[in-house]
Each structure stands twice: as C-alpha cells, then as structure tokens.
Structure 1
Amino acid sequence: MRSERSEVNERANPAQKPLAGELNRHAGQLAGELSHHAGQLAGELNCRVVALAGELSHRAGQLARNRRVVVFAGEFGRHASRLARRA
C-alpha cells in the first residue's frame, strides 16, 4: 500500500499537491466530526433502548402479577362455589 501511494504521489501534478493535501486535511476533519456525531447518536439511542427495556420489564412484571391475581380470583371463586353448594 505504501509503495502504491508513493507512485501516485510521484505521478501527481506538482501544482495540485498542496490542494490535495488541504482536501485530505478537510476530509480527515469531516470524518472525525462524522464519527463524533455518530458516537453521540449511538449513545443516545443506547440510553433510550435501555430505558425502554426497563419500562417493558416493569410492565411485564405487572402483567405477571395481574395474571397471578386473576388465577387466584378464579381459584377463590371455584372454592367459594363449592362451599356454597355444601351449605
């Protein structure tokens, strides 16, 4: 890769070399800024996903508790009707 780059530099127009260097610097700066913003967005997205996962976990716990209450109420109703039939 290094030798390919030096061959390209040797064949390049000397008048264009400063412009190419400046363009490379700007491209590097833009790539750095893009990487920074992508990292910020990824962090923000991760925070939202973690918050949503916590909320879903909480709701799943509530649903499980509600299901246990419904099952308990059904069992209670069956026992109450048996007792009523005996009386």
Structure 2
Amino acid sequence: MSKEQPIKGAAWVAVTAIIVGLIFVIAGAIITGIAYTEITPPNYDDNYNRYIGSSVPRLIGPFVLVFGAVIIFGSIVIMVLVNMRYQYKEVPNHG
C-alpha cells in the first residue's frame, strides 16, 4: 500500500460526505418550505395556532437543514486538512 492511499481514501470520504450533506440540505429546504407554506383555513382560532406551532415538519425541516450544513462544513475542513497534509508530504525539505 502506497503512502498516498490513506490520503486518497480520506479525500473520497470527504467528497462523499459533502454529497450526503447536500442531500440533507436539499431535503431540509424542501421539508421546511412545505411546512411553512401551509394554507391557513378561513375559520382558524388559537388552537389552530398551537397546532401549527407544534408541527413536526416545522421542527425537523430546519434541523435537517442545519445538520446538512454542519456535514458540509466539516467535510470541507477535512478536505483542507487532507490537502495540507498532502502538500506537506510533497515538500522534500520540510524540516
């Protein structure tokens, strides 16, 4: 096994995690959009406002959106660190 193999593996994991993060962000945006564009009936009252406030998609949508953003941010950090390590190994006299 070559010395580049773990670096390539880490890079592929980071790229895959970015793709998964994008899927989470898109799903969260869709869920949030659907949850917050619900049509209000003409005869709503305070109970309807409580019902809307406790809607599960209104909680899960933003959570999935933020979770996907955290995955993307973490993956970018991993890719930067892997790239720095690869560049560090490329320099012959790094002390």
For Structure 1 versus Structure 2, the TM-score category normalised by the shorter chain is 0.3 to 0.5
| TM-score normalised to structure 2 length | 0.43
Structure with larger Rg = 1
Structure showing the higher helix proportion among its residues: 1
